[in-house]
A and B are shown apart, each in its own frame.
Chain A
């Protein structure tokens, strides 16, 4: 079965640069979630979208923005990158927004900021 696809899988950027992470949900899923997991830390919820509208917002810095497109894929844009942004960024998808109790995770994008 098709899973959540994230690209790129690895990304190396320098401080103050910009990065864009992409997430392609499972076909027919309408909800996308973004999580950030720093080295040795627990995952933190960043933001979610349901039917192309932002549905929940967590601990997402103002330097980050995200959107969900008409084909339901989502992009996380990160500007003015800082060393502390180095982390594994997971995307998850589900069907039915907050009513769903199952989120399927992608493999993650490992971002390294130097």
Chain B
């Protein structure tokens, strides 16, 4: 069974802190790993990672994939209250055309 696990499930930090969110997967036929930010309802796409070891960066957010460890991390530096959201990790399965989501990490940034 394809599985995506995120940790921690919940995280509360102060504004300005740096956070690292984890995603690990066990899937039959990996194609890509995606990170989303979900506020209220609609998810916002953050990164798609296909190759191991190549960091993707967007402002204060960055992410990297480790295919050997079957995992990915999402880093957010100098956090702001607007970063409060649920962060979802998903793995795209080759062939099955299937996207499997993790449970999400609920991140709360306190002022």
Contacts and interface: CB of A to CB of B under 8 A. Distances in A.
Nearest to B101: A101
Contacts, number: 51
Contacts of B36: 45
A4 B97 contact: yes
Contacts of B4: 101
Contacts of B60: none
A101 B93 CA distance: 13
Interface residues on chain B, size class: 20 to 34
Interface in B53-111: 92, 96-103
B42 A45 contact: yes
A105 B42 contact: no
Interface residues on chain A, size class: 10 to 19
A27 to B, nearest CB: 15
Nearest to B38: A56
Contacts of B42: 45, 56-59
B48 interface: yes
Contact of B45 (A4, A42, A92, A106): A42
Contacts of A57: 41-42
Interface in A24-50: 42-45
Nearest to B2: A102
A88 to B, nearest CB: 13
9 contacts: A3-B97, A44-B45, A56-B41, A58-B43, A58-B44, A101-B101, A102-B101, A104-B98, A105-B97
Interface of B: 2, 4, 34, 36, 41-45, 47-48, 92, 96-103
